[in-house]
Amino acid sequence: MSGRKLRNILVTGGCGFIGSNFINYLFNKSATGSRAFMDSEFSGKVVNADALTYAGNPENLSEVEKEFGGKRYFFEKVDICDKNQIERIFREYDIDTVVHFAAESHVDRSILGPGEFIRTNVNGTFNLLETARKYWNVSLDNPRDDVLFHHISTDEVYGSLGETGFFTENTPYDPRSPYSASKASSDHLVMAYHHTFGLPITLSNCSNNYGP
């Protein structure tokens, strides 16, 4: 997201492990309130939309809430599949950037109950894309470079890796679980909205993350 001035960011799933670390980084805070390891130049606002499922913990952002709550940080307990609520957030906060972390991501859970993964990862992503496209009035005839939809995905969309080798962005998709298939579907939707409607997008295919 370098090169763009971030103003009003909608972070989905911001109470989760990665999302909360991202928000703490934006506000240059660690989870304990100490200064982060790098200075942040962000001076805009963050709206954190999280449904607070088993993976979300608002305490991850207690220091951000204490210092910036109601001024530059706003929490919305919202399901990303709720069209009316997502549209309200775009209007109320004049969102110009989406950083989309929210997802069902537990592989074993996807085997036991794949429906929720399709609902959140596919339908929820579609809802965000469609709301962004309409609110930003983006089309191939009306391109914009002052808005951005950043989608966080997984390397599992590429399938299984053997003892040697590596994946690249050119590796063919080969999902092997309902989870990875749902994320592959959301990736394709994001890329389709770029090619069809000119929606400015970036996409990260992350491996497993760890840390505090």
Reported as a single tens digit per residue, the pLDDT across 91-123 is 999 999 999 999 887 766 777 778 888 999 999
- Is 212 a domain residue? no
Please say whether the dihedral angle defined by the alpha carbons of residues 183, 160, 169 and 15, taken in this order, is positive or negative: positive
Distance CA 181, CA 160 (A): 13
Choice among 23-27, 125-129, 208-212 with the minimum mean pLDDT: 208-212
Total number of domains in the chain: 1
Q: Which residue range is the domain that position 183 belongs to?
A: 8-206
- Is 1 a domain residue? no
Q: What is the CATH number of the domain that holds 197?
A: 3.40.50.720
Distance CA 154, CA 93 (A): 29
148-207 pLDDT, tens digit per residue, is 999 998 777 877 777 777 777 788 888 788 888 999 999 999 999 999 999 999 999 877
- Is 173 a domain residue? yes
Which of 26, 48, 51, 21 lies closest to 39, judged by CA?
26
Give 148's strand partners.
97
pLDDT value at 33 more than 60: no
- Is 3 a domain residue? no
Distance CA 45, CA 10 (A): 9
| Confidence (pTM) | 0.89
132-147 pLDDT, tens digit per residue, is 999 999 999 999 999 9
The catalytic residues are 155-156, 179
- Is 64 a domain residue? yes
pLDDT value at 37 more than 50: no
- Is 101 a domain residue? yes
Mean pLDDT of 58-83: 96
pLDDT value at 34 more than 60: no
- Extract the tokens encoding 34: 């100490």
Cβ pair 26, 63 in contact under 8 A: no
Supply the pLDDT for residue 209.
74
Cβ neighbours, 10 Å, residue 37: 8
Supply the pLDDT for residue 145.
93
Distance CA 121, CA 153 (A): 10
